[in-house]
Structure 1
Amino acid sequence: MEGYKYQKRQVTLDKDREFRIGEGKISGYASIFLGALSLLAVLAYLFPSHLTTTELRQVYDAESLQKALKYGMYFSLFFGALTFYLKKYRRMGFAGIALTATAFLLGGYRVPVGPVEAERLSLGVDWLILAFLGSVIVFVSLEKLFPKYKNQVILRKEWGLDLFYFCFNHLAISAILIYANYHVSHFDWAVSAQVQALIGSVPIALQLVLVILCADFVLYWEHRIFHKIQCLWPVHAVHHSVQNMDWLAGSRSHFIQTFSERAMVMVPLYLLGVGEAVLNLYVAFAALQAVLIHCNVNLPFGPLKYIFVTPQFHHWHHSSEKPAIDTNYSAHTTLFDWLFNTMHFPREHWPAKYGTTGKFPQSYLGQTLYPITALLKKH
């Protein structure tokens, strides 16, 4: 917006939430998280039909992952014991040890692995564990190595709420896939064997580019509709209520939007009829990018930032500043925001403010019911 005066975001270091070496806080959180993940993993090994997803089981080797589980359990005990040595955060250390001890009592990393009878509906505990560990290792490391705001702590305000969203969205993956497959079945009439054969004949790289563009087109318009249709905005506003951007921020999403997005993006993938290799490449690309663009990172993307959606580009979408409102809808590339004149990308500036322009509930229940309460207030 011409004449708008951009300001720099000020982030004050929250010393009460900061991780400092030698205090025991790092050890306490490491123990309790590893203990909780270990217990979940053991339960998943005991009840794989009900706690793991059929699609993901085909990707990993359950026996090999038991070795990782072994180290995770022993590290949980180590970090828990370390809190007693440091004489701080011993309650967290005790909780981590208790969780790991329970996992050992249930069989630990020695639970037999055998054939799994597939259940149509199950909890994605395996998806949750792998996604959480991968995200922490990759994205938290990036945020510490290349931070945009150095004073923003890992345990920033509302991180617990967003962690709950993260867990819910990953545990519900099976239900999301069932709904998405049911949704795309209504588009059988649009499937063209000739078109799918033509697409299948081109190199995988070109198929991937086509999938990304088609998915981006659908996501762009779905995203824009959530912004522009008055009765849908309160659903999407939940995602915009995040006031500090990091790797967990993108997880905050109303379940209606979560199910809707997954179902809509499946339509172009279904109609294109691409092979499993291309589909897996797209899923990996989309999952990584979805987390990255919300991260508190300042990476030198160079010319790529004019082609792909990057953290700086998407952070402007989350800004509550006037020139950025209702802009940057794209999920993968900047193409459609450029084509439809909805791009706001001042190259040398980042947002100073995030979140919605009005007050918003701070609890999961309050945010889940917000679309209803917002509608009742208007009437």
Structure 2
Amino acid sequence: MLELIDLKAILIIAMIFIPLERLLPLHADQKVLRKHWLNDVIYLFFNSILIKLGFIALVGSIMIAIRFVIPGGVFAVVQAQPIWLQAIEVTLVADIGFYLAHRAFHSVPFLWKFHSVHHSIEEMDWLAAHRVHPVDQIVTSAASLIPVYALGFSGSAIAIYALIYQAQSLLIHSNTRIRFGPLKWVLASPQFHHWHHANERQAYDKNFAGQLPFIDALAGTLYMPERMPRVYGTDDPVPPLYHQQLAYPLKQLRVPAGALSQQQPGDTHP
């Protein structure tokens, strides 16, 4: 039954985003069945299993320890707030955790090997949002949600956050020219996130937030010019197929130090 519900959700999402990307395309010459689309379909159907198992194991073990540290009264205070206020707070707390984890995956060579799989995307669309190495997704999700769980936010507020996060993730990767106007400084848009994926030097290590661009503005990592990127991807030698991409970071760890440069998209780090 779960698999059936998930399949229905995927079909609904495809029925929304495929026409949307045809009606309001950013890159009009990009095909629906663009390069490596099948690889990302495999991510869509199979990656979630690995991520759910890893996330439960990691977060579950950490939360057992945290329960002995956080006073029980904190939960009562947090959950006494209106659900709408909790949902806003969850989004802020989670996105700060996301920002810090995401920035670490760009800064630490060991972590970048996993994150470079996501940056190997050369044609942006809603489907490409799913190309994330399980280790990357598990660690980033844990960094986002462990503080949320530790503070005792209600399940309803977390569910609202999760629903908005999933929808926004698909939209910001989509091949659409949708602009948010003045709200672009508050809510992540395709304009904001496409620049994070740009293989252009001035955009390296920018726009780390998942939902709230003002976090990048406060941290000095915001880059959002009016024009849109011309080229996406990374210069790292990420292989093209799902099973190869799962193994890629682990294989890179066996390469002698200095044999490969540690690269951000198109950049070499010391």
Corresponding residue number in structure 2 for 1:162:
40
Normalised TM-score (structure 2): 0.88
Deviation at 1:228, TM superposition (A): 0.5
Distance in structure 2 (CA, Å) of the matches to 1:173 and 1:126 = 19
Distance in structure 2 (CA, Å) of the matches to 1:141 and 1:198 = 45
One of 88, 95, 117 as aligned partner of 1:238: 117
Q: Which amino acid aligns with 1:361?
A: P
One of 195, 216, 226 as aligned partner of 2:95: 216
Deviation at 1:266, TM superposition (A): 2.2
Corresponding residue number in structure 2 for 1:132:
10
For the pair 1:306 / 2:220, whether they are aligned, the reply is no
Deviation at 1:247, TM superposition (A): 0.5
Corresponding residue number in structure 1 for 2:171:
292
Q: Is the 8 A contact 1:128 1:170 kept in 2?
A: no
Deviation at 1:211, TM superposition (A): 0.5
- C-alpha change, 1:148 and 1:326, in structure 2 (3 Å) is same
Q: Which amino acid aligns with 1:335?
A: F
SS of residue matched to 2:118: helix
For the pair 1:261 / 2:104, whether they are aligned, the reply is no
Q: Which amino acid aligns with 2:196?
A: H
Distance in structure 2 (CA, Å) of the matches to 1:217 and 1:360 = 28
For the pair 1:202 / 2:44, whether they are aligned, the reply is no
Deviation at 1:373, TM superposition (A): 2.6
SS of residue matched to 1:274: coil
Task: Provide structure 2 residue ranges, at least 5 long, that are not aligned to the other structure.
Answer: 258-270
Deviation at 1:151, TM superposition (A): 1.4
Distance in structure 2 (CA, Å) of the matches to 1:154 and 1:363 = 19
Distance in structure 1 (CA, Å) of the matches to 2:4 and 2:15 = 17
Q: Is the 8 A contact 1:317 1:328 kept in 2?
A: yes
Corresponding residue number in structure 1 for 2:107:
228
Q: Which amino acid aligns with 1:164?
A: I
Distance in structure 2 (CA, Å) of the matches to 1:248 and 1:190 = 40
Distance in structure 1 (CA, Å) of the matches to 2:11 and 2:211 = 24
Aligned pair count reads: 256
Distance in structure 2 (CA, Å) of the matches to 1:198 and 1:339 = 28
Query: Higher Cα Rg: structure 1 or 2?
Result: 1
One of 343, 362, 375 as aligned partner of 2:240: 362
Distance in structure 1 (CA, Å) of the matches to 2:34 and 2:133 = 21
Q: Is the 8 A contact 1:211 1:268 kept in 2?
A: no
Q: Is the 8 A contact 1:147 1:298 kept in 2?
A: yes
Q: Bigger shift: 269-278 or 152-161?
A: 269-278
Distance in structure 2 (CA, Å) of the matches to 1:233 and 1:173 = 18
Normalised TM-score (structure 1): 0.64
Task: Provide structure 1 residue ranges, at least 5 long, that are not aligned to the other structure.
Answer: 1-43, 45-51, 53-124
Q: Is the 8 A contact 1:127 1:170 kept in 2?
A: no
Deviation at 1:272, TM superposition (A): 2.4
- C-alpha change, 1:177 and 1:221, in structure 2 (3 Å) is closer
Deviation at 1:284, TM superposition (A): 0.5
| Larger RCO (alpha carbons 8 Å, 6+ apart) | 2
- C-alpha change, 1:144 and 1:224, in structure 2 (3 Å) is same
RMSD: 1.7
Distance in structure 1 (CA, Å) of the matches to 2:4 and 2:142 = 22
For the pair 1:270 / 2:149, whether they are aligned, the reply is yes
Distance in structure 2 (CA, Å) of the matches to 1:146 and 1:296 = 8
Distance in structure 2 (CA, Å) of the matches to 1:374 and 1:177 = 24
One of 254, 257, 263 as aligned partner of 1:376: 254
Please give the residue correspondences for 1:108-123 in structure 2 after superposition, counting only pairs within 5 Å.
none
Q: Is the 8 A contact 2:179 2:190 kept in 1?
A: no
Q: Is the 8 A contact 1:329 1:337 kept in 2?
A: yes
Q: Which amino acid aligns with 2:185?
A: Y
